Amino acid sequence: MKQEELEQRWSECLSIINDNIPASAYKIWFANIRPQKFDDHDQVLWLAIPSQFVYEYIEEHYIDLLYATICRVFGENIDLMYRVQMDQINEISVDQQSASRPNVSQPQTPTTRKSTNKTPGAISVATQDLDPMLRPNYSFDNFIEGDSNRLPRAAGKNIADNPDRTIFNPLFVHGASGVGKTHLINAIGLRVKELYPEKRVLYVSANLFKVQFMDAVRKNTLTDFINFYQSIDVLLIDDVQEFVGPEKTQNTFFHIFNHLHQNGRQIVMSCDRDPASLQGMEERLINRFKWGLVAEIERPNFDLRKAILTSKVRRDGLTIGDEVIEYIAANVTDSVRELEGILNSIIAHATILNREPDIILAERIIEKAIRRAPREVTLDAILKTVCSTCHLTREDINSNSRKRSVVQARQIAMYLAQKHVKDVTLTRIGEFIGRRDHTTVLHSCKLISGQLNYDKELKDNVTAIERTLLTR
């Protein structure tokens, strides 16, 4: 079928669909779908879908309508295939078959990458048998850079470009849940495979590593297990805090780590805390985690949150106003994962309610989400609130001023950081607030804690700041 005829028939399909669903739903889910080709021999219609999110939603909610429409326009017994855009900028796509029809062949093109999310079966040392377990949509292209992730992103890019000649070995990335650690280490793996396809790259969670280890012990194949991991060129281990506890697993990983490091193989790890906070981890492992670069991914600030939302809207082919994006960015502050979840929820509610995704809808959904899971206090939020309450600037806090008002504000911020921010060290607090060392932070916390017992004005001031932080 010629492209001109294909476009005309698909236009007829869109007209029918538009007549049978709300206008807002049509605009969100169908307006950006394009016909790619029609295979006359196999009777297969290929549709280009702007994102995995759109594909999954259509398959779940509109597949009956879609099939009825294409069979009416193209004829009976039509099979449906999707070419789902994973990265529109670099034209990376994945072929997906409609779950409601029998299997059909999936022609491959140079721009198509098959999903590699399945868990590998038997461990093999052969290169062609190694599934790197990488997620194709977690690339550097959609890992948006900001102040909170600039260092780990730059280090990761350096590793990916030069996996055999990097000083960042190992790279230990830590941060709260949902800030992008898994995305970053996947991006490193994808980039290495792109530049060095012969490299043996493997992404694996610490939990899966433990499961494989226990299985190897049970089957008496521990030597094969160790040989397999020692053959990896770039090992990406997610959530290494899962190693805490089982000594045999830690011991085995210790020897694998040593072998890889001594042979110039790259190791990248993610964790929900810094190495010094890994209680229950062997000291010799903690020391090795610090050999290369330890870098934190912090929670994203407003500018980065807005950039992430804008990028996702563009990649997913969605239509949502800038004012709604800014409202979400201003009110959802904890993590990238929460940002994307709120955006998906707003789009889904807009479709179900047959309305545009506006600020009123966003406010309602965000308020419910915040009540269910109160947001955590961050170092950035504490510093902003203290500066606002005490009528100071960050420059004042970071200065060497010995004015009583500045010194006390700095001490209050340090006290509140130690009290309310989860999994943060005194060193990190000092670096962020006033650029002081950990002994200054410890002294400040003890001083403010003692003064609160008898200084009513100070207590009222600290209470007001805490109320603002916890109800913002």
Please name the amino acid found at residue 367.
E
Closest CA to 347 of 373, 321, 375, 318: 318
CA distance 353 to 347: 10
Please name the amino acid found at residue 471.
T
Between 331 and 174, residue with greater pLDDT: 174
Per-residue confidence at 91, pLDDT binned at 50, 70, 90?
A: low
Q: What pLDDT, on the 0 to 100 scale, is given for residue 86?
A: 62
pLDDT at 371 over 60: no
SS3 call for 163: coil
| CATH architecture, domain 127-296 | 3-Layer(aba) Sandwich (3.40)
Q: What pLDDT, on the 0 to 100 scale, is given for residue 60?
A: 80
Kindly report, residue by residue over 250-304, the tens digit of the pLDDT: 999 999 999 999 889 999 999 999 998 888 888 999 999 999 999 999 888 888 8
Kindly report, residue by residue over 119-137, the tens digit of the pLDDT: 344 444 444 468 888 888 8
CA distance 456 to 468: 18
Least confident of 31-45, 262-276, 328-342: 328-342
Which class does domain 3-97 fall in?
A: alpha beta
CA distance 362 to 415: 34
With 0-12 / 13-18 / 19 or more C-beta atoms within 10 angstroms meaning exposed / middle / buried, residue 116 is: middle
Number of residues assigned to the chain: 472
Sign of CA dihedral 174, 307, 25, 43: negative
Name the CATH topology of 379-471: Chromosomal Replication Initiator Protein Dnaa; Chain: A; (1.10.1750)
> What percent of the chain has a predicted confidence (pLDDT) above 90?
32
Q: Give the residue extent of every domain in the chain.
A: 3-97, 127-296, 302-372, 379-471
Which CATH code for domain 302-372?
1.10.8.60
pLDDT at 469 over 50: yes
> What percent of the chain has a predicted confidence (pLDDT) above 70?
89
Q: How many CB atoms lie within 10 A of CB 445?
A: 19
pLDDT at 32 over 60: yes
Q: How many CB atoms lie within 10 A of CB 449?
A: 12
SS3 call for 48: strand
User: What is the chain's mean pLDDT, rounded?
Assistant: 83
Q: What pLDDT, on the 0 to 100 scale, is given for residue 157?
A: 92
168, 293 in Cβ contact below 8 A?
A: yes
Q: What pLDDT, on the 0 to 100 scale, is given for residue 354?
A: 75
CA distance 472 to 469: 6
Q: What are the Cα distances from residue 244, in Å, to 10, 288, 400?
A: 56, 15, 41
Per-residue confidence at 228, pLDDT binned at 50, 70, 90?
A: very high
- pTM for this model (two decimals): 0.55
Per-residue confidence at 195, pLDDT binned at 50, 70, 90?
A: very high
Which residue is associated with the tokens 């999310």? Answer: 117
Least confident of 94-98, 359-363, 453-457: 94-98
328, 357 in Cβ contact below 8 A?
A: no
CA distance 180 to 53: 19
Q: What pLDDT, on the 0 to 100 scale, is given for residue 471?
A: 60
Longest CA–CA span in the chain (Å) reads 86
